Amino acid sequence: MPRRDAIHAQVRAALINDGWQIIADPYRIVYKDATLEADMKADKLLVATRDKQSIIIEVKSFLQPSFIHEFLAACGQYQAYKYLLEEKGQTETIYMAIITRSISDNSGAKQYRKLVERFDIRLLVVDIEKEEITQWVE
C-alpha cells in the first residue's frame, strides 16, 4: 500500500465534517491490466434532488523540497486517474485536495494556477487546522 500523504487524515475529517461519507480509503481504479490507487472515494446525498454525488480525491501536501517536481507528478497522476475513469465510463469527479498555502506560498504561483486551469484539475482546498473545506475550485 502506498504511503499516505501527511494531510490525509485532516482531508478525510474535513470531508466527513462537510457531510461526505467515505466509501473507500484508498480507492482502487482497475482498468484492463492497469491498477491505480487514488486516496479516497466519497459520496454525498444531495437532499434537494435525492441524487448521490460521488467524488474521488487525491491528497497532496507538496512538502517535498522540489515543489515543481511534486506538482508536475501530481498533475500526471490526476490525468491518469481521469483517463482510466473515462475509459471505464465512470462519472465520478476527481479532486486534488490541497491546503491553501500549497500553491499560494510558492514563487510562481500564477504559473501553477495556469497549469491547474490548463490541465482541468479540480481542487479541494482544506484548512487542516480546522479540518474543514474552504473552497471547491471547479
Tell me what pLDDT residue 115 has: 81
Q: What is the CATH number of the domain that holds 95?
A: 3.40.1350.10
Give a yes or no: residue 24 inside a domain. yes
What is the C-alpha to C-alpha distance for residues 92 and 29, in angstroms, rounded to an integer? 12
- The boundaries of the domain holding residue 101 are 8-137
Give a yes or no: residue 17 inside a domain. yes
pLDDT along the chain (138 residues), means of 10: 84 96 96 92 84 93 80 92 94 91 58 82 93 92
Answer yes or no: are the C-beta atoms of 57 and 15 closer than 8 Å: yes
80, three cell numbers: 491518469
Tell me what pLDDT residue 2 has: 65
Give a yes or no: residue 3 inside a domain. no
Tell me what pLDDT residue 128 has: 92
Q: pTM value?
A: 0.89
What is the C-alpha to C-alpha distance for residues 77 and 38, in angstroms, rounded to an integer? 9
Neighbours of 16 (CB within 10 A): 13
Give a yes or no: residue 18 inside a domain. yes
Tell me what pLDDT residue 52 has: 87
Give a yes or no: residue 2 inside a domain. no
Answer yes or no: are the C-beta atoms of 116 and 123 closer than 8 Å: yes
DSSP bridge partners of 29:
36
Tell me what pLDDT residue 90 has: 93
Give a yes or no: residue 20 inside a domain. yes
Tell me what pLDDT residue 103 has: 55
Give a yes or no: residue 48 inside a domain. yes
Sequence-ordered alpha helix ranges (H) in 31-108? 67-88, 101-104
Tell me what pLDDT residue 108 has: 52
Tell me what pLDDT residue 24 has: 97
Domain count along the chain: 1
134, three cell numbers: 474552504
Positive/negative CA dihedral, 3, 90, 13, 138: positive
